[in-house]
Structure 1
Amino acid sequence: MKKPLTLVFITIISLLVLLTGCQPKGESASEPAGGEASADQKEHPLANKKIALIMQINLGTFSAQYIEGVKEQAEKFGGDVTVFTSEGDLAKMASNLDAAINQKFDGILIDHGTKEALTAGIEKAEEADIPVVVFDADVEVEGVPVLQQGDEQMAEMTLNKLAEDAGGKANIVKIWVAGFAPMERRQIAYEQFMQSNPDIKEVASFGAATANTALDTQSQMEAILKQFPNEGDITAVWAAWDEFAKGAVRALEQAGRTDIKVYGIDMSDEDLQMIQAENSPWAATAAVDPKDIGRIQVRYLYQKINGESPEDKIILDPVFVEKSKLPDHSITTEELHEYIDGWGVSDQGYTADLKELEGK
């Protein structure tokens, strides 16, 4: 009896091997096709990291392009990004940060927020050996890099251009809001500028960060235009955020006020389209490419994951964009570097290890 049973067993095993060999081979989501490259990346100690992006507010095309830059760079490093949005609610932002720590992400990126809302959570993350890198928040935790855009320089660039275009004498509307670290830095430059330019007068000031900032700004700007209906009443608008600039531009265009120019800060594809529009009042802006901000922030996070110690304060170099320097045909921010030096080409934050990782 043993021989027939053994024969049956061998026959079954042979059939199973044959059938297994005939099955179609698919591509796993975690192991993409690519043979050796995929294997190399899987074995790299910095690959396959889970990254959390904690945002105070996700609003407009600037935020969308910033997120795109974060995801693009992380994916090149073999990582995966989860975005936590907080709708401007600082308590929710702190809760999101706590959730990312509890879920044991390999690294945490923070976009805006305040030290009061974030410091305890960041310290908790550091204690749990989860590296953190912050963008545009007034956080001061030792060993935690904080990126900022060179906000005072951006304000100076746009205000100096406003003064130059107006011949040193102007009535201006300021659109600004307190409570955000980059806004506070821009306000410092604004105050210094106004002290140095006594012939430039502020005739109105307003601003609020809301769920519909651009639309709300447009409504408020329309009301101000009714208060100052005559040419010369307002020379220019200085907007400390592109969402403010968009609202102001739309209000001016609807009112037909071609006598008033707008000078803004920040840049996105939507902003660029508005600046390029025929007879647009948007004369100039200063900005760092939002995609570059995301890419650079990820690079510094991976430096920390790699055991390195980047500096605590990292300033990104802004670029000045004038309407007069742009081509007649429509372009996107992907093409902007062809006309504006320094746009979207930063290698800041790269190390030899990160370049090797990206190459795999």
Structure 2
Amino acid sequence: MKSSIRLVAVLATALAALGAAPTAFAQNKPHIGVSIPAATHGWTGGVVYWANRTKAELEKQYPGLKVTVKTAGSASEQANQVQDLHTASKIDTLVILPFESAPLTQPVAQVKGKGVYVTVVDRGLTDTNAQDAYVAGDNPGFGKVAAEYMAKAMGGKGNVVVLRGIPTVIDNQRVDAFNAVMKSHPGIKVLDAKHGNWNRDDAFKVMQDYLTRFKQIDAVWASDDDMAVGVQKAIEQAKRTDIKLVLGGAGSKDYIKKVMDGDKTVTADVTYSPAMIADAMKLTAAARVKGEKLPASTIIPSVLVTKENAKQYYFPDSPF
């Protein structure tokens, strides 16, 4: 926890330092393109909210700076938008949260090759040479924190099913870290892990399959609060009483509230805020206006949320 606090402090200090005295940076007026997934689920809804909010803040803070925000409903649409942002909108800076890792790597590499400064957020590309900077949550930490909590809550024994997100670098990092912890708990058996795509409906279908195939499930790592909604709906419809723990992630207000209220099944959550797009935009804008570069990597820690600390992570006015 102390290391997490230090990392948060470092990020806050960097933002403050880069954002200070904007009048001193007046010589540079970058055009920043922000490419993000559409609001296909709650977390990306939060991303869209924070991106548009931060666009207004940055254009006010840095006169002459322009921010163009584009949302895409698929990887192919986003790839086309990245090209359009360069050729039609004439951006010189790109902040992108890829819809998927592999399909966006080459399109992003192409615009970087044409002189566009690239900050990749959250879902890393498959080739880091395609980016100048990376800003993300602590995805290995996300999986590690979740697994450690689940193992303790289960008393080191029982059956677990896992719902993965969209096939991305960050999903691999989360699941690998989760599995690494579980290897040290031989009394816990991971029955299966399938992609629920960070989507309620997809997670509902995956969980229905699990419930049909497995007669004893003690816990579910949904790995996302939206997927946890679909998981719980499937459990309720099947009238299953064997599942004692459902652990999501990302810190949605609905699931933080469940933790706060002492829900018997949802006893914890793991943070992974969509506001990281705002952090990435602010860091990138401040650096570009000043004519500087960001560190190669900026990582925002994942924190375990329990009833004891849930109140500080509860934001009722947020869309997520």
Q: Same fold (TM over 0.5)?
A: yes
The residue aligned with 2:151 is 163
Matched, 1:133 2:114: no
Is the radius of gyration larger for structure 1 or structure 2? 1
Matched, 1:216 2:194: no
> Does the C-alpha gap of structure 1 residues 323 and 170 become closer, same or farther in structure 2, counting only changes over 3 Å?
farther
The residue aligned with 1:4 is none
What pairs with 1:203-242 in structure 2 (closer than 5 Å)? 203-209=191-197, 213-229=199-215, 233-242=216-225
Once the two structures are TM-superposed, the CA of residue 67 in structure 1 deviates from its matched residue by 2.4
What pairs with 1:295-310 in structure 2 (closer than 5 Å)? 295-302=278-285, 303-310=287-294
The residue aligned with 2:161 is 173
The residue aligned with 1:314 is 298
> Does the C-alpha gap of structure 1 residues 155 and 284 become closer, same or farther in structure 2, counting only changes over 3 Å?
same
- Stretches of structure 2 that go unaligned for 5 or more consecutive residues are 1-21, 60-64
Once the two structures are TM-superposed, the CA of residue 128 in structure 1 deviates from its matched residue by 4.2
Matched, 1:246 2:229: yes
TM-score (norm 2): 0.77
- Stretches of structure 1 that go unaligned for 5 or more consecutive residues are 1-39, 336-360
Q: Which moved more, 1:264-273 or 1:301-310?
A: 264-273
Once the two structures are TM-superposed, the CA of residue 110 in structure 1 deviates from its matched residue by 0.7
Matched, 1:92 2:77: yes
Task: Name the amino acid aligned to 1:105.
Answer: I
TM-score (norm 1): 0.69
Task: Name the amino acid aligned to 2:94.
Answer: I
Task: Name the amino acid aligned to 2:32.
Answer: I
> Does the C-alpha gap of structure 1 residues 100 and 118 become closer, same or farther in structure 2, counting only changes over 3 Å?
same
Kept after mapping to 1: 8 A contact 2:164/2:194: yes
Once the two structures are TM-superposed, the CA of residue 206 in structure 1 deviates from its matched residue by 2.2
CA distance in 2, matches of 1:55, 1:61: 14
Once the two structures are TM-superposed, the CA of residue 227 in structure 1 deviates from its matched residue by 4.0
CA distance in 2, matches of 1:131, 1:158: 34
CA distance in 2, matches of 1:290, 1:46: 28
Task: Name the amino acid aligned to 1:85.
Answer: T
The residue aligned with 2:52 is 71
CA distance in 1, matches of 2:35, 2:84: 10
The residue aligned with 1:52 is 33
CA distance in 2, matches of 1:125, 1:109: 12
Matched, 1:152 2:140: yes
Once the two structures are TM-superposed, the CA of residue 285 in structure 1 deviates from its matched residue by 1.8
Task: Name the amino acid aligned to 2:136.
Answer: Q
> Does the C-alpha gap of structure 1 residues 98 and 143 become closer, same or farther in structure 2, counting only changes over 3 Å?
closer
Kept after mapping to 1: 8 A contact 2:204/2:233: yes
How big is the alpha-carbon RMSD for the aligned residues of Structure 1 and Structure 2?
Answer: 3.0
Once the two structures are TM-superposed, the CA of residue 189 in structure 1 deviates from its matched residue by 0.7
Q: Which moved more, 1:180-189 or 1:304-313?
A: 304-313
| Superimposed CA distance per residue, residues 79-134 of structure 1 (whole angstroms, 9 cap, x where no aligned partner) | 5543323323x232211100000121243211124564334433443344432211
CA distance in 1, matches of 2:207, 2:152: 24
> Does the C-alpha gap of structure 1 residues 158 and 45 become closer, same or farther in structure 2, counting only changes over 3 Å?
same
Matched, 1:198 2:186: yes
Kept after mapping to 2: 8 A contact 1:150/1:317: yes
The residue aligned with 2:97 is 111
CA distance in 1, matches of 2:133, 2:297: 6
Higher relative contact order (CA 8 A, sep 6+): 2
> Does the C-alpha gap of structure 1 residues 304 and 80 become closer, same or farther in structure 2, counting only changes over 3 Å?
closer
> Does the C-alpha gap of structure 1 residues 273 and 60 become closer, same or farther in structure 2, counting only changes over 3 Å?
farther
The one of 278, 284, 294 equivalent to 2:268 is 284
> Does the C-alpha gap of structure 1 residues 290 and 332 become closer, same or farther in structure 2, counting only changes over 3 Å?
same
> Does the C-alpha gap of structure 1 residues 251 and 137 become closer, same or farther in structure 2, counting only changes over 3 Å?
same
Task: Name the amino acid aligned to 2:230.
Answer: G
> Does the C-alpha gap of structure 1 residues 308 and 216 become closer, same or farther in structure 2, counting only changes over 3 Å?
same
